[in-house]
Structure 1
């Protein structure tokens, strides 16, 4: 039975674009009202996904990479410093009169690194340890960065319960991460098989449910008209710029090699859109959630395109 779950998990893992797309379509076709039950379910499912991912992480590996923290710290600066500024600037250019769309683009650019960036880094032959540390470190600092960040940017325009946001972020990402790594160390990796079989398969089902729930909540706010085509084009532009920022950011590294470049491209380019959608729906007006949720349409396809481009250019990427 375990082997069967491993095959199912691998099957879904290779087809995440279609999993996300199907969840989006299901959510858009079955709109639901926002309720406390759905919000709580989204948070719980997301915490479960984070926990399963952390089961494959060791504190020892995390500390080893942290002994030379400059590359992951530089990645975090690109993610939480440069990328949000680019998103806000592009929003100001294309939507000077629509504050909520600009805010949605800002949320999309400032949320944590996607856990799936580790998978894509591995598939492309990149530095998995570096990607893992960046994701883990980002998970640990986000609960303290994002509330302060939005308080500075939008605190005078939208009233938010930053204390509640902080604790929800801790429950969604930080606590499950520490719990997963702690259990992994205590069991000496014995649950690794579970994380690659039953746990991995059910976490992808959880991802499907989170995406579908979030899409169904924002579906009433999406109006299929020419203005939506413009918004989709802007989101695609920001998605491409995110991956490009990772590559450009790698150019200043002293010890630059293809493994590090690949990790930077995926870590800087990929955002945890499911988390962003939960955050946007929970703390902002519905209009803000639309750009965040629509970003799901482009992230995985762009990751696939980057993967094939890297396969073609791998011999020269470290030059």
Structure 2
């Protein structure tokens, strides 16, 4: 995915004329991606998080209140309050936690059941969170049919999520290993298609963005890094490495493909540019963060061993 996502962006730009007629298929492709994620999460995992909601509530507050406010302030003072780029930066922070977060949390020693349950629940809450956040921050700057947006989110996120969880329950968890060899590769292809099609949709507007990129790229990198930092610092009082890793990845990564769908469907095409940039930024930053966590863990382990020797 580290190579395929930027590659699909390039293909979308170069073959935009050919791909533009297929842009209408994006919501359906994304709904399938959501479904394949949800079939790995059963009701027991959701109940375990709900019974102890403190970590989940804290994570969602950081992800959808602290981060959007930071995005708004950074964008406002860099591009001006009326810039579509500000909306794009805020939209990145408002969209649900990313599906790929599960992979990084597992590889970095976090809690996979916790992040999986949080991703599913946050996706289900997105019809409320995204419209509310946009309305609160841009009520004078952005004209948006929040009811229609909530309905579309329900159709492309909530409905596939509910179906996936029900399938997991009805098969007692057997469906995921059974369909994984076929469903997972197809899900990745659908995700790549979403990226390529949305790149094709904004390609006609890309020619005049060269000067803006000098500001947009470092601002986007800074915002993604800040989202990780907010989660890492916010979870520090827990004094639990597993939860700190989980929370920091959750606040740092978002469901970018959904962000692109919303940016293209409801805002100026320029709004999608910061969201598209974060696609290329998220995975490299996740890799660097993984290595930083490993070094920090080894350093703490070394100090603990030294104390025991003394």
Give TM-score, length-normalised by structure 2.
0.91
C-alpha distance in 1 between matches for 2:179 and 2:293: 28
Equivalent of 1:211, from 171, 192, 195?
A: 195
User: Are the counterparts in 2 of residues 258 and 317 from structure 1 also a CA contact under 8 Å?
Assistant: no
Query: Alpha-carbon deviation of 1:307?
Result: 1.2
1:239 to 220, 224, 242: 224
| 2:270 maps to 1:276 | no
**Structure 2: gaps of 5 or more residues:** 305-310
* Distance apart, 1:300 and its partner CA: 0.6
**Equivalent residue, structure 1, for 2:274:** 291
Q: Within 5 Å, which residues of 2 pair with 1:87-166?
A: 87-96=71-80, 99-166=83-150
Bigger CA drift: 137-146 or 154-163?
Answer: 154-163
Q: Label 1:302 to 1:18 Cα distance change in 2 as closer, same or farther (>3 A).
A: same
Q: Which structure features the higher share of helix residues?
A: 2
Aligned equivalents of 1:317, 1:78: Cα separation in 2: 26
Q: What is the TM-score with the length of structure 1 in the denominator? A: 0.89
Partner in structure 2 of residue 38 of structure 1: 23
Could you report, residue by residue, the CA deviation over 1:135-166 in whole angstroms, capped at 9, with x for unpaired residues?
11211111112112222322333322222111
Which residue number corresponds to residue 248 of structure 2?
A: 265
What secondary structure sits across from 1:56 in the alignment?
A: coil
Deviation at residue 175 of structure 1 after TM alignment: 1.0
1:58 to 2:42 alignment: yes
In the alignment, the residues of structure 1 paired with residue 152 and residue 81 of structure 2 have an alpha-carbon distance, to the nearest angstrom, of: 31
Counterpart Cα distance in 2 of 1:261 and 1:315: 16
CA–CA separation in structure 1 for the residues paired with 2:103 and 2:300: 19
Pairs within 5 Å for 1:9-28: 16-28=1-13
Separation in 2, partners of 1:182, 1:171: 16
2:233 alignment counterpart: 248
Within the alignment, does 1:172 sit opposite 2:150 as a pair? no
1:46-79 residue CA offsets vs partner (Å, 9 max, x unmatched):
1101101111111112101221000011000001
- Whether the 8 Å contact between 1:55 and 1:195 is mirrored in structure 2 is no
CA distance in 1: counterparts of 2:223 and 2:300, whole angstroms:
23
Q: CA deviation at 1:124?
A: 1.1
1:8 match: none
State the superposition RMSD in angstroms: 2.0
Question: Residue 52 of structure 1 contacts residue 195 of structure 1 at CA under 8 Å; is this kept in 2?
Answer: no
Unaligned runs of 5+ in 1: 1-15
- 1:78 is aligned to 62
Question: Post-superposition shift, 1:219?
Answer: 1.8
Specify the alignment match of 1:308 in structure 2. Answer: 291
With over 3 angstroms needed to count, the CA separation of the structure-2 counterparts of 1:161 and 1:35, relative to structure 1, is farther
